[in-house]
Every structure is written in C-alpha cells, then in structure tokens.
Amino acid sequence: MWLFDQISRLESAQQLDRPATAVRTVVEKLLTNRTVKDALHGVWLGHPLHPGLAQAALGSFLSASTLDALRAGRAESSLLITVGLGAALPTAVSGWADWADGHEDQQRVGLVHAATNGTAVALYAGTLLARRRGRSARALSVAAGLTAGVAAVLGGHLGYRQALGANHAEDVAHIGPEQWQPLGQLAELPDGEPVRRDAGQVPVFVLRRGDRVTVLSDRCSHLSASLSEGELVGSGSDLRVVCPWHGSEFRVDDGCVVHGPATAPAPRFESRVVGGAVQARVVTIPGVPAS
C-alpha cells in the first residue's frame, strides 16, 4: 500500500502539468499524419500497440540484468540489452501517441513513467559502452534493471489502475439487455441527428435516418465519452460518429473503429420499429448471455 500511495500522489502532482503540456505539444505536432497515428495506437491490431512492444523491451532488459546479477553469460546479457534497445524506440513512440490522448492524471503518471524508462535505457546503453571499453558493467546493468522495474510498475498503474488503453465499453455486451427495450416513438426522434436514450440501464447512441434506426453503445471505448454528443462525418455506409473528446471515429452501421485513439469498437445493438415505437437489444457475445 505504501508504494501505491506514492504512485497515486503522482496523479495529483500539478507541478507536472507544465512539462506535460510542453511534451504533449511536441507529440501532437509530430503526429499529424492520421494514418501513422492510427498505426501507433494499434487501430489495425484491435488493441493498443504499446503494451506488446513494451513486453519485448522489458523482457529483454530484465533477462539481461538477471544474467548480470547472477554473474553469468555476459555476452548473452549484452545481446539481450541490444535487443531491448532496438525495441525501445518503437515502444516509446507508440507510448507517447497513447499518452498524448490521455487525461491529466494519466499524463502526470505517464510523464514519470517515460522519464524512468528513459533513465533505464540510458543505463543499459552505458552498460554496452562500458563493455566495449573492457569493463564488465554488471552493477550498471543491475541498476538499469531495477530502474526498468520501477518504470514497469508505473506502466502497470497506468494500464490497470488508470485504464489508459483499456476498452471502456467492454462490459456493454455483458450487461446490455437481451430483451427488447423501448427507446421512444420513431416520430419523436430527430432525423439525422444522434440522441442519447437508455436501453434498460445502458445508455445508447440512437440515430434515425428516415425509417431506419441505428443503435450503438453511447460510451466511447477509449475513455467513455458520450458518442451522442459527437459530430457525424461522411455519408452512406461510411457515415461515422466522431468522439467529442479525442476524435476517435466509429462507423455508425457497425460500430467499427475507423480512426483512433480508440482501438475497440463501439458495441452494437439490434433495433426494430414496432407500431411506431423503436426498440433495441444488445448484440451479445456468442455463448455469453447479457445480465
């Protein structure tokens, strides 16, 4: 609990806001290409790219430090450090892309996480440089491993405690109603303008287009913004709703992600019109009934 308390203090450390703003400005200027940014978020993969890359880098680094702590396999340790350094750049770039679209608390912790990782990378690079000069540098490698471990704890806090990169709409398919739920009269829904309604206890995005009604979860899978407050772009089968917070775009017909930072789709609901009344029910995961 002591460690958790110390990390939690970072969430409210407002003195980190100024450097975070400066770094975020630089990241946003560098990542203006939407295709590149989507690739770094992991839209093509269906979940964030950064955690997988981080495992490759961290696994190589900690394996190297373990060998050095045991005073075994210096050549193997150096090879693992080299692999980790090679993975560090794409890991960092994808991490900065995700970080720039986080909220303030996440960015404060993320800034320290990045600085700690940077320190570990510098120590590992110093280890290789020292070895080229004939030194064993085992102590430096172990120190780097300890630093990388602290950075990993901070990264875990970001991902699991603060839910940066998590799918914030994952539970909808489990808690959405299986039975048809009333959403109001078709004639009362504005044509071509999204509105928020409740399907049972679940808020939903409702869009009427003539006699056709599309229903999605109202919760953006990135950080839970209300999609019904978003702007519509495109047309026809390419009609998309843009998240009002960070600009994620979801295809209205099926909820699929078109542009990030979201990587998970918006859960879809079936809809029908009975006697002029609109009804909807969640499209459940096969074999997993909603509650």
Q: Specify burial of residue 51 (Cβ count, 10 A radius: 0-12, 13-18, 19+).
A: middle
The amino acid occupying position 91 is T
Is residue 241 within 8 A of residue 194, CB to CB? The reply is yes
What is the signed CA dihedral for 96, 101, 103, 104, rounded to 10 degrees? Answer: 50
Helix (H, G, I), strand (E, B) or coil at 165: coil
Band (288; pLDDT cuts 50, 70, 90): low
Band (135; pLDDT cuts 50, 70, 90): very high
Given this model, what pLDDT does residue 286 score? 65
- Does pLDDT of 291 surpass 60? no
Chain centre distance of CA 120: 23
Angstrom distance (rounded) from CA 265 to CA 169: 8
Cα–Cα distances (Å) from 283 to 54, 123, 178, 186, 217, in that order, read 34, 50, 8, 21, 10
The predicted-structure confidence for 193-203, as pLDDT tens digits, reads as follows: 999 999 999 99
Given this model, what pLDDT does residue 5 score? 85
- Does pLDDT of 263 surpass 70? yes
Cα–Cα distances (Å) from 119 to 144, 187, 215, in that order, read 8, 61, 48
What is the signed CA dihedral for 81, 86, 87, 92, rounded to 10 degrees? Answer: 110
Helix (H, G, I), strand (E, B) or coil at 228: helix
> Which helix or strand (DSSP H or E) is residue 204 part of?
strand 202-209
Is residue 167 within 8 A of residue 264, CB to CB? The reply is yes
Angstrom distance (rounded) from CA 97 to CA 18: 18
Average pLDDT over residues 123-128: 98
> Which helix or strand (DSSP H or E) is residue 196 part of?
strand 195-199
Band (4; pLDDT cuts 50, 70, 90): confident
Given this model, what pLDDT does residue 289 score? 61
Is residue 148 within 8 A of residue 62, CB to CB? The reply is yes
Share the mean pLDDT of the chain: 95
Given this model, what pLDDT does residue 216 score? 97
The predicted-structure confidence for 178-190, as pLDDT tens digits, reads as follows: 999 999 999 999 9
The predicted-structure confidence for 28-87, as pLDDT tens digits, reads as follows: 999 999 999 999 999 999 999 999 999 999 999 999 999 999 999 899 999 999 999 999
